[in-house]
Amino acid sequence: MTRETLAHRAATHAGVDDATAVRVVAAFLDALKGSLLAGERVELGGVLDLGVVVEPARIRRDPTGRFAEIAPAKSRLDVTVADDLRDRLSTQRTAAILLAMPGTSAFGDILSSHFAKLGWQVQVARDAGSVRGLVDGSRPYLLVCDHQLSERDALVAAVKTRWATNPIPVVTLHTRFEDLRRPRQLVVLGDLAVFEPIAIHPFLRAMDQVLAQATEEAAVFERQLHYRMPAREEEILRAFDLSDAFFKDAGFRGDALVGLTTAFREAVRNAEIHGCKENGDLAIDVEFLLDREKVTVTVEDEGDGFEHKGYRERLGAGTPLAAARQRHSAGGVGGLGIYLMDRCADRLEYNDRGNRVTISKFRAVAEEG
């Protein structure tokens, strides 16, 4: 969590504007550092007890005992978690696998037995309300959602779009008739989709891989979000709302937020108009990756792409407006959108085919805004 995100949440809780909260949080942190450097112990009621501990110099001898040297004194930060918080943290996220399955089945029993043998706690929820309660309470390490669960898609969307629960890996089970490649409406995707008929042993290996991958990715990415939608106006507007919330939760504010939002929306509109040709039967794929340095957004469509290298060179060689007019006179459309994305993003990249664009925006820029 960045200082800006913390300040934004504090502003929401306190009912004040973000600017006021930023100043208060900055002043608090400065006072905290000053107290610690002055040798004072700081008690943050119900959360932490902080203090600087000085370890005295000590004599170190070699194994033979013939030589000795004096190790210098060291200062270190001593952190003690408050009893109540420590107790709550011990149960906040248990080593649990949550199976969202409305009825009993041999398949569910096999899953429960498999994870139990590996030492995991297994929780079973029969309806969406129970799933939400367990997700908010125990924060499972893995959520498996069966296609028979009512409101499954809405539940997955709620888990993956909420900032607190987004890191929970989600596996969704589907019938063979479901088509995630070209959904009829915006669908927030889990980390793995499995379609019937399901082979037990490959599926169990896939579950283990999802858990291992989630652990590895947690060390790199703070948040991830992946969704797919048809190239239709109402679904695109939903996508804009999702992206706005994601960018704000990531701490982007001011000019950085405007630039990032502008670049993303232009990429989606290009995918809709030039890639999918406004054909609502074709899909647009969107993925967000947030790490400590930047947010990376990928927008991909099902179109034929375009020759972007030469086009971007022509944009750089002359004025964007002149290049757009030249393209229009030759029978093409568009032009200024790429220039706009390039100006608003810190990095803009296309795949060779030209139907996937990747936008990167550094968080350091956001902190200056």
Domain count, the chain: 2
Residue 209 lies in a domain: yes
* 3 confidence band (pLDDT: 50, 70, 90): confident
- Give the domain-ending residue among 202, 219, 236: 219
Fill in the DSSP letter of residue 73.
P
- The pLDDT > 90 percentage for the chain reads 50
Same domain, 314 and 279: yes
**Is 50 exceeded by the pLDDT of residue 294?**
yes
Residue linked to tokens 């971007």: 312
The verdict on 185 and 156 lying in the same domain is yes
Both 213 and 253 in one domain: the answer is: no
Which CATH number is 171's domain given?
A: 3.40.50.2300
Domain identity same for 131 and 214: yes
Mean pLDDT of 299-315: 79
Mean pLDDT of 323-344: 62
Q: Once rounded to an integer, what is the mean pLDDT over residues 284-293?
A: 96
Instruction: Return the pLDDT at 65.
Output: 59
- Of 192, 219, 246, the residue at which a domain comes to its end is 219
Same domain? For 241 and 314 the reply is yes
Looking at per-residue pLDDT, the higher value among 85 and 169 belongs to 169
Domain end among 196, 219, 242: 219
364: enclosing H helix or E strand: helix 363-368
Burial 323-334 (b: 16+ CB within 10 A, else e): bbeebeeeeeee
- Could you tell me which of 290, 270, 251 has the C-alpha nearest to residue 340? 270
Q: Which of 63-67, 207-211, 219-223, 224-228 has the lowest mean pLDDT?
A: 63-67
What is the C-alpha separation between 340 and 328, in angstroms, rounded? 17
My answer on whether 269 and 283 are in the same domain is yes
pLDDT at 144 (0 to 100): 95
pLDDT surpassing 50 at residue 2: yes
pLDDT at 291: 93
Nearest to 81 by CA among 53, 35, 44, 39: 44
More confident residue, 39 or 368: 39
* Full residue range of the structural domain in which residue 144 is found: 90-219
Contact 28, 50 (CB under 8 A): no
Residue 184 lies in a domain: yes
Q: Are residues 210 and 235 in the same domain?
A: no
Q: How far apart are CA 287 and CA 130, in angstroms?
A: 28
Residues 192, 300 within the same domain = no
What pLDDT is recorded for position 329? 46
Global pTM exceeds 0.95: no
* pLDDT confidence tier of residue 81, bands split at 50, 70 and 90: confident
**Could you tell me which residue, 313 or 320, shows the higher pLDDT?**
313
The answer to whether residues 252 and 146 belong to one domain is no
Query: SS3 of 215, please?
Result: helix
Same-domain status, 333 and 259 = yes
Residue 202 host element (H or E): helix 200-218
Decide if 118 is inside a domain.
yes
Whether 249 and 215 map to the same domain: the answer is no
Across 227-245, average pLDDT? 97
Please check the confidence at residue 298 and state whether its pLDDT lies above 80: yes
pLDDT band, residue 7 (cuts 50/70/90): confident
Cis peptide before 197 (omega within 30 of 0): yes
**Structural domain includes residue 165:** yes
Same domain for 272 and 364? yes
Return the CATH number at 333: 3.30.565.10
